[in-house]
Amino acid sequence: MSNFNDFTAHGYEVIRELGANRGAGRIVYLARSIGSPQLVVIKQFQFAQTGSSWDGHKEIDREVKILQQLQHPNIPRYLASFETEQSSCIVQEYIDGKPLSEIISNQQLYTPEQVKEIILKLLEVLVYLQKTFTDPVLHRDLKPANILLNSSCEPYLIDFGGAKVSEGAGGSTVAVGTLGFMPPEQRFQQFNKTTDIYSLGLTIVCWLTRTEPTEMYNIINMGTNQVMGLRELLSAYSLRFVDWLEKVVQPDPKDRYLDAEAAFNAFKPLYVKRVPEAIVSSSVLEFTASKLGERLTQTLIVRNNVPETVLEGWWEVAPHPSDPPHTPNSHAWISFGSRKFSGNANECSIVVNTDKLMAGKVYNRKIFLHLNSSKELEELVLNIKTAEVSIEVTILTGNELITLLVLGLISSSILTPTIIINWIICYFLSGNNAILASFILILFILFFAIVIRFGFVHKRDNDSTHKIKYNSLKRIVFLLITLSGMFLFGTYISFLYYQWSMIYFVCALTLTLNILILTLIYPAIKHKKLVSKYRDSEEGLIKP
């Protein structure tokens, strides 16, 4: 047998209890009309059991009279009222929905578009209450528990037990409203068209900040009645929407919108929460170093063209198996001018330091841009080409040329008789003049050696310890003179000792050509050796 009250005499069968405040003698039932599938809500007021005065009956009469006038799709329809021996009851249309207070507790989320539509419809209800009748109807207890949302996000304003017709001072000493949602003037029984606007504003703040209705004191300064840090609490929402909300919840009624219609008109064109759109100037960045150890910088522009929003983001280098372990805030060789940014036209610098990278290699890395836009992550590619091993070897060094000269002179003096040079020398020099000519030729060779030694000085590039430059043309000239001197001296000596001999001429020519060939291929051999030595020094550097 059911423990519920029996309302069959009045044409209703109770199904279950929806809610109760037994201390105040109020119970809400879900019921069905007998002989009909229609579901209804029965609000029972048990004033006799609580010892309440007949003021409670007056409040019920006032609520009935108000409900009988209301014809709005977002207010449950009044159906009937009746009296029992111990209570008074009001019958209304049943709305299959959840109180906003329960939705807040469950952390149920809605899209920005749904939030705006719900707020618009609640404002329309307030406009209806204030504009339809000769005297405005003031709800006076607008809070999350008195707003129902069905599965289609359709809002319904319920519980008009504290409603009042007309503005001005209240005629009852009974407190009306709920602390945390009623405006300051309501505590002193003063009511006007901005009263419900303020309560709706705090209901929206409670909803969007996911604050439990019983904990509104955490975000409201009870001394000044100001919402604390509203812009920070709703930093993800449209700036103009937050401006509108700040005006709605002003403690002084003079600073709010004049009425619900003004608040509705101001809110209608706004976006509750517009999402920024990130436009990145390039998704692939090319870095090319012209010298070893060079520090390279590229600048990206990250824009947002969506009005009423602010783009925020931060940079992170993606992990790579060749890189040392790193944190989101630090990387071995990739850094950012500013890791975080906030704005709608952001210049972002990406810096690559190649002094820890191998020469002549291509590095491919990815960086992530975390955003508060609809696309929360942008992926960018970095292609880094390091400078080649800048070791330049041309011909020989001064010491190497002197060594070549000495070897050539010794070889030529022993092995290199020639016909043509011998004939020339024999024609111009004879007798005692041969000794003088030999002495002069030796002095010429010594002078030439000194010129070579001091004419070829190592010149190191200040920008790189790996680069050695020589004047190639100058060295080629000196090389040719050296070879000519060797050939001349050798043929002269061969004339003095061996006279005419074709075989010695061929030997001298062959030896000289071999020295010339070795001289030409030596730079390539030396360059390869120096590069190999440099590569050995790269063992501690980061691999591509």
Q: What is the pLDDT of residues 3-25, one digit of tens each?
A: 678 899 999 999 999 988 877 78
- Residue 22, classified by CB atoms within 10 Å of its CB into exposed (0-12), middle (13-18) or buried (19+), is exposed
CB 164, CB 191: distance < 8 Å: yes
The pLDDT value given to residue 462: 39
CA angle 72, 75, 76 (to 5 degrees): 115
The pLDDT value given to residue 378: 93
Cα gap 224→337, rounded to integer Å: 43
Cα gap 255→248, rounded to integer Å: 8
Mean per-residue pLDDT over the chain, rounded: 79
The pLDDT value given to residue 431: 45
Phi then psi for residue 378, to 5 deg, are -105, 135
Question: Between 314 and 86, where is the model more confident?
Answer: 314
Please spell the DSSP secondary structure of 16-54, one letter per residue.
Answer: EEEEEEGGGTEEEEEEEETTS--EEEEEEE-HHHHT--T
Cα gap 141→167, rounded to integer Å: 15
CB 378, CB 301: distance < 8 Å: no
| Both tokens assigned to 462 | 């200040």
The residue-averaged pLDDT of 150-154 equals 94
Using DSSP, state whether 459 is helix, strand or coil.
Answer: strand
The residue-averaged pLDDT of 267-272 equals 92
The pLDDT value given to residue 455: 45
Q: What is the pLDDT of residues 375-384, one digit of tens each?
A: 889 999 999 9
Least trusted range by pLDDT, from 41-50, 126-135, 454-463, 512-521:
454-463
Please spell the DSSP secondary structure of 95-109, one letter per residue.
Answer: --EEEHHHHHHTT--
In the structure, what pLDDT confidence band is assigned to residue 169 with cuts at 50, 70 and 90?
low
| Both tokens assigned to 458 | 């190592």
In the structure, what pLDDT confidence band is assigned to residue 164 with cuts at 50, 70 and 90?
confident
Residue 136: pLDDT above 80? yes
The pLDDT value given to residue 239: 84
Question: Which ranges of 132-229 would DSSP assign to H, the alpha helix?
Answer: 195-208
- Non-local CB neighbours of 36 within 8 Å, separated by 6+ positions: none
Residue 443: pLDDT above 50? yes
Residue 415: pLDDT above 50? no
Cα gap 352→365, rounded to integer Å: 11
The residue-averaged pLDDT of 238-262 equals 94
The residue-averaged pLDDT of 341-349 equals 93
HSE of 444, CA atoms in CB hemisphere, 13 A:
14
Cα gap 328→257, rounded to integer Å: 47
% residues pLDDT > 90 (the chain): 46
Question: Strand 377-385 and strand 284-288: pairing?
Answer: parallel
Q: Which amino acid is at 368?
A: F
| Both tokens assigned to 80 | 């009937």
Residue 84: pLDDT above 80? yes
The pLDDT value given to residue 467: 38
Cα gap 126→149, rounded to integer Å: 17
The pLDDT value given to residue 538: 77
CA angle 161, 162, 166 (to 5 degrees): 120
Cα gap 213→493, rounded to integer Å: 116
% residues pLDDT > 70 (the chain): 71
The residue-averaged pLDDT of 41-47 equals 88
Q: Checking phi first, is residue 543 left (phi over 0); if not, alpha (psi -120 to 50) or beta?
A: beta
The pLDDT value given to residue 181: 92
Please spell the DSSP secondary structure of 230-258, one letter per residue.
Answer: HHHHTTTS-HHHHHHHHHHT-SSGGGS-S
| Both tokens assigned to 440 | 């002069």
The interaxial angle of helices 398-415 and 433-455, nearest 10 deg, is 160
Phi then psi for residue 485, to 5 deg, are -60, -45
| Both tokens assigned to 139 | 């709800």
The residue-averaged pLDDT of 179-196 equals 88
Most confidently modeled range among 48-62, 313-327, 509-523:
313-327
The pLDDT value given to residue 450: 54
Cα gap 28→46, rounded to integer Å: 11
The pLDDT value given to residue 206: 95
Residue 101: pLDDT above 60? yes
The pLDDT value given to residue 380: 96
